[in-house]
Amino acid sequence: MLTEQPNPRTSDIDQLTALEIATRMNDEDATVALTVRQALPAIGKAIDAIAERLSSGGRLFYVGAGTSGRLGVLDAAECVPTFSVDPELVQGIIAGGEAALVHPIEGAEDDRNAGRAELLARSLWERDAVVGIAASGRTPYVLGALEAANETGALTIGIACNVPSAVLDAAQIAIGVPVGPEVIAGSTRLKAGTAQKMVLNILSTATMIKLGKVYGNLMVDVKVTNVKLAERARRLVAQIASVSEADAAGLLAQANHEVKTAIVMQRRGVPPDEARRLLKQAGGRLREVIG
């Protein structure tokens, strides 16, 4: 596998100064974005397919082991406060369960049947989308999950850093990001992990944009769960509704801290319930309600 090969550009890295090591690593990282760019046609196809599934009642599952699994869980968790989605809508599944987020669970990634069972236990159905993530492209746990998803008619997407690979072959949409040998041979938490994180960022963000979670480039479906997000919500309402931050705070209080509801209340001159009705009628797309 390419990810396991020694990197000739870093063969002397143990003899370098700290600055030289950092520079060499940064040089390698600079190649990752270009590799992801080459995969954009497949990524775009995946975004359209995922958005179609979610808009018809489906869910999105990320499945991986080790670093790949942790990245999937991270992306899923961040969708909740960023886009105010139900935690059930985007779910991250890691081999070995929650304990594997902070401690390596030896052998968990090799259990193909566990990957199948984990997905089937979540009542997987044809409107769901499953993204299998594996730097190696051959992780048995991920392959088991993709097999189960294909059998139920769900959408399957594979992300791998070795091309060709079994994970890509098992998926309906294959996203190959062959970043090449790592700075430290086989340490796929480095370039491979960076590539996977970039792909997941694009998949989830673009999908949520297509689902109406963004107005312009503003995070209008933010879930107000802390002081920082409360301040952001006030700024968003003030900016889009053209009111002071004090008035924005008042609108948010009436709207149960729902940013889009508060904006529609001001821009359309309607009470909260009518604002919510208008948004529901527009599929949550703020632009269709206020222009």
Coil, strand or helix at 175: strand
- pLDDT (0 to 100) of residue 253: 96
Active-site pick, 109, 118, 182, 258: 109
- pLDDT (0 to 100) of residue 106: 78
- pLDDT (0 to 100) of residue 15: 96
pLDDT, one tens digit per residue, over 66-84 is: 999 999 999 999 999 899 8
Give the pTM. 0.92
The residues, ordered by sequence, that sit 6+ positions from 204 with a Cβ below 8 Å of its Cβ are 60, 75, 76, 78, 79, 90
User: Does 182 participate in catalysis according to the annotation?
Assistant: no
pLDDT tens, per residue, the chain with 291 residues: 888 899 999 999 999 999 999 999 999 999 999 999 999 999 999 999 999 999 999 999 999 999 999 999 999 999 998 998 999 999 999 999 999 999 888 789 999 999 999 999 999 999 999 999 999 999 999 999 999 999 999 999 999 999 999 999 999 999 999 999 999 999 999 999 999 999 999 999 999 999 999 999 999 998 888 999 999 999 999 999 999 999 999 999 999 999 999 999 999 999 999 999 999 999 999 999 999
- Residues 249, 114: Cα–Cα separation, whole Å: 48
End-to-end CA distance of the chain: 51
The tokens for 45 are 């196809």
- The backbone torsions φ and ψ at residue 64, rounded to the nearest 5 degrees and listed phi first, read -165, 175
**Domains identified in the chain and CATH numbers:** 2-210 (3.40.50.10490), 227-290 (1.10.8.1080)
Asked if residues 213 and 83 have their Cβ atoms less than 8 Å apart, the reply is yes
The b-or-e profile of 159-174 (16+ CB within 10 A means b, else e) is: bbbbeebbbbebbbbb
Coil, strand or helix at 16: coil
- pLDDT (0 to 100) of residue 104: 84
- pLDDT (0 to 100) of residue 148: 97
- pLDDT (0 to 100) of residue 223: 85
- pLDDT (0 to 100) of residue 119: 93
- pLDDT (0 to 100) of residue 4: 87
- pLDDT (0 to 100) of residue 3: 87
User: What are 160's strand-pairing partners?
Assistant: 134, 176
Q: Which of 161, 156, 94, 87 is nearest to 126 (CA)?
A: 156
DSSP state, residue 256: T
User: Does 88 participate in catalysis according to the annotation?
Assistant: no
